[in-house]
């Protein structure tokens, strides 16, 4: 399990992560809905994550959500690279009642995010636009190429949860061990 601490004037975060875990989580960001989404990510990717974030949530949730993305992304990077013996590519299409979201992942060591989802408004006190901020921070710090594409849905909670679950399942598929693949690249390096 890799561990990382990050402290700024806005947040103080301590986290540990293992990509080949047992879906164990201990998450406390002070943001109930975000904790729920991170727990969903853990359960469906079957990673282990311990995360404690003390942030300036009296101002709003932006700094905490983005900084958690930075820390989780850095921990994913530490766990993934150098890449070898894994599938590298992952895909999922997840349904959450009326909502459907697709996610494609390339563990490429090149950061790129396509995020197409009509997230507007709040879920409780949580600004749904922060979900894209979280994934941007995670993807760019983990050096992943990720496409998250909304297919259909109306309920913001269902759409948001489908986003986290689709990312989780695509990630789980991408890190699946495959001993026949020494280095999954025609370039010879990732």
Q: What is the pLDDT of residues 135-153, one digit of tens each?
A: 999 999 999 999 999 999 9
What pLDDT shows up at residue 111? 98
Complete edge-to-edge strand list for the sheet that includes strand 2-7:
2-7, 11-18, 48-55, 25-28
What pLDDT shows up at residue 181? 81
Compute the mean pLDDT over every residue in the chain, rounded to the nearest whole number.
Answer: 96
CATH topology (fold) of 2-174: Ribosomal Protein S5; domain 2 (3.30.230)
- Tell me: pLDDT of 185 over 80: no
Specify whether the backbone of 160 is left (phi greater than 0), alpha (psi in -120 to 50) or beta: alpha
- Do the beta carbons of residue 83 and residue 190 sit within 8 Å? yes
Q: What is the pLDDT of residues 21-52, one digit of tens each?
A: 999 999 999 999 999 999 999 999 999 999 99
What pLDDT shows up at residue 190? 67
Q: What is the pLDDT of residues 80-90, one digit of tens each?
A: 998 889 999 99
């Amino acid at each position: 399990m890799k561990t990382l601490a990050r402290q700024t004037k806005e947040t103080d975060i301590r986290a540990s992560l293992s990509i080949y875990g047992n879906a164990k989580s201990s998450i406390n960001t002070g943001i109930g809905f975000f904790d729920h989404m991170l727990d969903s990510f853990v359960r469906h990717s079957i990673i282990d994550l311990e995360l404690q974030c003390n942030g300036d949530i009296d101002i709003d949730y932006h700094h905490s959500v983005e900084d958690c993305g930075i820390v989780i992304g850095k921990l994913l990077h530490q766990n993934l690279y150098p890449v070898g013996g894994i599938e590298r590519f992952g895909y999922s299409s997840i349904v959450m009642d009326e909502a459907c979201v697709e996610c494609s992942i390339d563990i490429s060591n090149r950061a790129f995010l396509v995020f197409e989802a009509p997230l507007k408004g709040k879920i409780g006190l949580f600004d749904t636009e922060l979900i894209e901020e979280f994934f941007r921070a995670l993807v760019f710090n983990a050096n992943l190429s990720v496409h998250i594409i909304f297919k259909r849905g109306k309920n913001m909670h269902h759409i948001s949860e489908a986003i986290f679950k689709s990312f989780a399942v695509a990630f789980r598929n991408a890190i699946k061990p495959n001993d026949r693949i020494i280095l999954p690249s025609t370039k010879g390096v990732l």
